[in-house]
Amino acid sequence: MTTRRTAGIHSRPRSVHKPAPSRSRSNGPFYVPLVGVVSALVILGTLMVLSSSTVLAMTTYGSAWYFFLRQLVWTFLGVLAFWYASRFDYHRWSELVKPIMYATCAMLGLVLLPGVGIEAGGARRWLGFDLWRFQPSEIAKLALLLFIADLLTRRADEVDDKHRVLYPILIALAVVAGLVVLEPDLDSTVLIALVAGALMIAGGIRARHLVPLAALGTVVAAYLAISEPYRRARVMTLFDPPTDLANKGYQISQSLIALGSGGISGTGLGAGKSKWLFLPNAHTDFIFSVVGEELGFIGTFLVLTLFVALAFIGVRTALNAPDRFGMLLATGVTVWVSAQAAINIGGVIGILPVSGITLPLISFGGSSLVFTLAAMGILANVARQTQR
């Protein structure tokens, strides 16, 4: 008689949604470093949003403080989300998975309805009002992460049963990713798929199932990347260095100029020139370029170091999590934030196609900041319950 394989990235047995251990005075060895790194990124991000957005805010809205004040409100809400999630026992998320998924899919569907979803730049990605709106795709990242982690935990003894584990995950992924790509938002779709793939690997699903899925996903992503002219232009910029500043490579050209003009120590906070409407989306997608211009190599190295530290803490938390559910949650959150940072920075420096996703915890963006901090709070709660 053979037994089913249940190992993921752990070799020792993992319990399924075990009750939270009794709280002690110790928060675990990874909690304080995690809070420190997240705090540093948020503080740096708030300063850079102020610096990078003043010119655009003044010329568009008549107030240099327009974006900064909104970011302060979102930061306050995000800090509350982090604080609550870090103290909310992560095991209890399993009880909320279904309503969160249903609500997320409903919101993703509402976004696509004319007159309901808010359209900007040719994409319909937001719900709410013109001044205060949010992206359901940000919620979708967290919702799908919770769903997959919960399923892989509850059915840990059945990971080789495709009908019980793999197919439900693929159906959920197809629904969420399909709704997001219809907005259209290919960048978030790719990120969601990467997180789902990482969770399946960590959850112990066999490579013979994952390799064909990865190949199929790559083909689909490549097709979608060249199916629209604006996406195709982004891809072609990688192979056609943007020497013509008025051509399709304008954004990346201005980004590289900003990065290169900063030197070692930068021009000084607030003294950059790229934000004077030379660099589009300087306070969102290309805020890393403003960091490089105003804070120089020292600033960009600091940002990279903080994200590497965040990834290291997340991996250590996952490897030492109290149970399988904690391990999967820590894995998913770590891959989410690390991959998003890598995609954004890769586009800014010209080694990846320019994406429409923000630099987590640093770029201007309310829903991204709030839900990323909520995810960081979940990771922090796992870290609090990790004792070694």
The pLDDT of residue 350: 87
The pLDDT of residue 7 is 45
What confidence score (pLDDT) does residue 76 get? 97
- Which pLDDT score is estimated for 375? 98
Residue 242 is predicted with a pLDDT of 56
Spatial separation of the C-alpha atoms in residues 338 and 359, rounded to whole Å: 10
Q: What is the pTM of this model?
A: 0.91
Question: On the CB side of 349, how many CA atoms lie within 13 Å of its CA?
Answer: 14
Q: Does the CA dihedral 197-167-190-327 come out positive or negative?
A: negative
**Confidence at residue 180, expressed as pLDDT on a 0 to 100 scale:** 95
Surface-to-core class of residue 160, CB atoms within 10 Å of its CB (0-12 exposed, 13-18 middle, 19+ buried)? middle
CA pair distance 16, 91, nearest whole angstrom: 9
pLDDT at 153: 97
Report the relative pairing of strands 123-128 and 133-134 from DSSP bridges: antiparallel
The phi, psi pair for 127, rounded to 5°, reads -120, 155
pLDDT in tens, the chain (388 residues): 444 444 454 443 444 565 544 444 567 899 999 999 999 999 999 999 999 999 999 999 999 999 999 999 999 999 999 999 999 999 999 999 999 999 999 999 999 998 888 887 777 888 887 667 889 999 999 999 999 999 999 999 998 899 999 999 999 999 999 999 998 889 999 999 999 999 999 999 999 899 999 999 999 988 888 888 777 877 777 776 555 555 557 888 889 999 999 999 999 999 999 989 889 899 999 999 999 999 999 999 999 999 999 999 999 999 999 999 999 999 999 999 999 999 999 999 988 888 889 999 999 988 999 999 999 999 999 999 987 6
Query: Which two structure tokens, joined as six digits, stand for 204?
Result: 């112990």
**Under 8 Å between Cβ of 136 and 104:** yes
Structure tokens at 29: 């060895």
| Inter-residue contact 55 to 321 (CB < 8 Å) | no
If one counts every other C-beta atom within 10 angstroms of the C-beta of residue 25, the result is: 4
